[in-house]
């Protein structure tokens, strides 16, 4: 039986990923903070088991590892849990950067550290980290979020090189705007010129599965990758566009 662990599984991308993996026959460990949502989802799936944990707590990695050790190996870890956030650095300050990094980056690093020995023993196995297109191309007004996702994307790339020799594939999935319960993206969806920019959680789940099966990096929607390429060729132009985009 293939075992996968999905964080942030109670809604949005995490829930869609859990449903997709369930359809593919995986045994699932679902991690999130909202017990009611997590237990309801687990009850709808074939072989899913909720684990209510706040991944920023000091004992979280040890608790998750103890639960994983009860299984016969762990083949896939999907680090999806995270927070958004808007506001300039001047308005929000260091404390917002610290809190955002704690959830979006530090918690992922700590969990991977705890579970990496298990994933190595189960190799070939995979880690898929959900970063963001904002982890490659920054936007004004999202400095804390961009900092956390840039850190996650770069760290993922580096440890992917390190762990290849141990049979652990490590991949980045970098969504752009995704329409979820907490982020309906109403203004973008209602504008015909920007509607293409918004994806669905199910599309991100598809990209996560593709990444787990060997892809190093996936953008969702895929045209977002062109913006990343353009940033490398014309960083000044991209900076001017993103500074005044209002997105």
Q: Each residue of 158-184: pLDDT tens digit?
A: 999 999 999 999 999 999 988 876 666
Q: Residue 4: which H helix or E strand, with range? A: strand 3-7
Number of domains the chain is built from = 1
Active site residues: 145
**pLDDT tens across 219-229, in order?**
998 877 877 78
Task: Find the domain containing 88 and state its range.
Answer: 3-243
| Alpha-carbon gap, residue 56 to 102, rounded angstroms | 7
Instruction: State the pTM of this model.
Output: 0.92
Phi, psi at 7, each rounded to 5°: -95, 160
Q: Which residues contact 55 (CB under 8 A, 6 or more apart)?
A: 7, 31, 61, 64, 81, 103, 107, 110, 111
Buried b (16+ CB within 10 A) or exposed e, 80-92: bbbeebeeeeeeb
In 10 A of CB 124, how many CB atoms? Answer: 11
Residue-wise pLDDT tens digits, 8-60: 999 999 999 999 999 999 999 999 999 999 999 999 999 999 999 999 999 99
Q: Supply φ then ψ for residue 241, to 5 degrees.
A: -65, -50
Q: For residue 161, what is the domain's CATH number? A: 3.40.50.720
Other Cβ atoms closer than 10 A to 6? 30
């Amino acid at each position: 039986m293939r075992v996968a662990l999905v964080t942030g599984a109670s809604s949005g991308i995490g829930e869609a990923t859990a449903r997709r993996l369930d359809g593919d026959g995986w045994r699932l460990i679902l991690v999130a903070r909202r017990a009611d949502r997590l237990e309801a989802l687990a009850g709808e799936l074939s072989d899913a088991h909720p684990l209510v944990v706040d991944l920023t707590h000091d004992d979280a990695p040890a608790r998750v590892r103890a639960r994983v050790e009860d299984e016969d190996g762990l083949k896939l870890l999907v680090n999806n849990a995270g927070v958004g956030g808007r506001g300039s650095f001047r308005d929000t300050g260091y404390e917002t950067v610290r809190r955002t990094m704690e959830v979006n980056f530090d918690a992922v690093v700590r969990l991977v550290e705890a579970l990496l020995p298990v994933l190595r023993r189960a190799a070939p196995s995979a880690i898929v980290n959900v970063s963001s297109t904002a982890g490659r191309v920054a936007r004004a007004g999202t400095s804390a979020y961009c900092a956390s996702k840039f850190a996650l994307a770069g760290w993922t790339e580096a440890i992917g090189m390190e762990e290849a020799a141990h049979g652990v594939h490590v991949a980045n999935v970098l969504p752009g705007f995704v329409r979820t319960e907490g982020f309906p993206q109403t203004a973008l969806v209602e504008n015909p010129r920007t509607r293409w920019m918004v994806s669905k959680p199910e599309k991100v789940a598809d990209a996560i599965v593709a990444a787990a099966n060997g892809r190093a990096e996936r953008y969702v929607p895929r045209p977002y990758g062109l913006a990343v390429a353009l940033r490398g060729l014309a960083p000044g132009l991209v900076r001017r566009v993103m500074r005044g985009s209002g997105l």
